[in-house]
């Protein structure tokens, strides 16, 4: 049976807009090059008033946090604003910092494992963790430095990945059984937070109805 996935409407819109560019890890020499293309795509979408994209601006860009979508749609958004938005969405302090990271590369099995987790694909994720035992301790190349387990929290990571498989508790247990550290923290919101802290302050797992069972799995 294919697991059901709870995906907030705005996340659906963002994922639909960017399409395959989101997972085109092997088409760019560095993370910076990939995110630069996402920034240009964001600017293109903003010029065309694609509604869900404004949620990237008011969730991540420090210049626009707190502004409504309606306000943003009447605000002049520059290409530089889009570079800053993408940098901050992916956990970096700003584009200037990211532009200097010319040795930052993707680890393809890690990115694949995140996507399997978010699809609730227990069997393939199990195989991946068995073949690559170091995945549970690996960190994202993005600025937040999240582990696989942090993606369970659906909070603080890149917007398009904030979705919730309904078998999330089973996925959580699988990661813990393979050695994931529930005390590990990631950098977000100006601090360091564990998966449990992110999970219990995220609306998405709550709306999906899985928060309590995932908390139990983490405890």
pLDDT digits (tens, 9 = 90+) for 200-214: 999 999 999 999 999
Average pLDDT over residues 66-95: 95
Q: How many CB atoms lie within 10 A of CB 65?
A: 11
49 HSE (CA, 13 A, CB side): 5
Is the pLDDT at 143 greater than 90, yes or no?
yes
Cα–Cα distance measured from residue 161 to residue 166, given in angstroms and rounded to the nearest whole number: 15
pLDDT digits (tens, 9 = 90+) for 27-51: 999 999 999 999 999 999 999 999 9
Q: Which of 7, 33, 9, 8 is nearest to 21 (CA)?
A: 33
- How far CA 48 is from CA of 19, 34, 153, in Å, comes to 16, 22, 32
Cα–Cα distance measured from residue 36 to residue 160, given in angstroms and rounded to the nearest whole number: 16
Q: Which domains does the chain have, with CATH numbers?
A: 9-99 (no CATH), 107-218 (1.25.40.20)
Q: Is 180 exposed, middle or buried (0-12, 13-18, 19+ CB in 10 A)?
A: buried
Q: 83-87, 100-104, 105-109: lowest mean pLDDT where?
A: 100-104
Please state the three-class secondary structure of the chain as a single string: CCCCEECCHHHHHHHHHHHHHHHCHHHCCCHHHHHHHHHHHHHHHHHCCCHHHHHHHHHHCCCCCCCCHHHHHCCCCCHHHHHHHHHHHCCCCCHHHHHCCCCCCCCHHHHHHHHHHHCCCHHHHHHHHHHCHHHHHCCCCCCCCCCCHHHHHCCCCCHHHCCEECCHHHHHHHHHHCCCCCCCCEEECCEEECHHHHHCCCHHHHHHCCHHHHHHHHC
Sign, CA dihedral 189-201-20-80, equals negative
3 pLDDT tier (thresholds 50, 70, 90): confident
1 pLDDT tier (thresholds 50, 70, 90): low
Cα–Cα distance measured from residue 120 to residue 169, given in angstroms and rounded to the nearest whole number: 10
pLDDT digits (tens, 9 = 90+) for 81-99: 999 999 999 999 999 999 9
Is the pLDDT at 2 greater than 80, yes or no?
no
Q: Is the pTM of this model over 0.75?
A: yes
Phi, psi of 189 (to 5 degrees): 55, 30
Average pLDDT over residues 116-131: 96
């Amino acid at each position: 049976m294919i697991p059901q996935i709870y995906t907030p409407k705005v996340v659906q819109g963002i994922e639909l807009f960017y399409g395959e560019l989101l997972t085109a890890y092997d088409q760019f020499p560095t993370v910076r090059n990939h995110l630069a293309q996402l920034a240009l795509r964001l600017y293109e979408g903003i010029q065309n008033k694609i509604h869900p994209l404004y949620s990237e601006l008011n969730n991540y860009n420090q210049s626009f946090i707190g502004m409504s979508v309606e306000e943003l749609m009447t605000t002049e958004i520059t290409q530089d604003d889009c570079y800053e938005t993408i940098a901050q969405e992916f956990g970096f302090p700003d584009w200037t910092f990211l532009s200097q990271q010319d040795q930052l590369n993707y680890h393809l099995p890690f990115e694949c494992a995140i996507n399997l987790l978010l699809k609730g694909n227990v069997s393939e994720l199990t195989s991946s963790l068995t073949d690559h035992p170091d995945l549970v301790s690996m960190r994202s190349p993005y600025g937040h430095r999240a582990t696989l387990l942090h993606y369970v929290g659906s909070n603080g990571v890149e917007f398009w990945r904030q979705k919730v498989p309904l078998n999330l508790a089973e996925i959580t247990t699988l990661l813990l059984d393979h050695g994931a550290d529930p005390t590990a923290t990631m950098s977000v919101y100006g601090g360091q937070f564990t998966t449990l802290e992110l999970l219990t302050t995220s609306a998405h797992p709550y709306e999906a109805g899985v928060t309590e069972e995932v908390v139990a799995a983490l405890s």
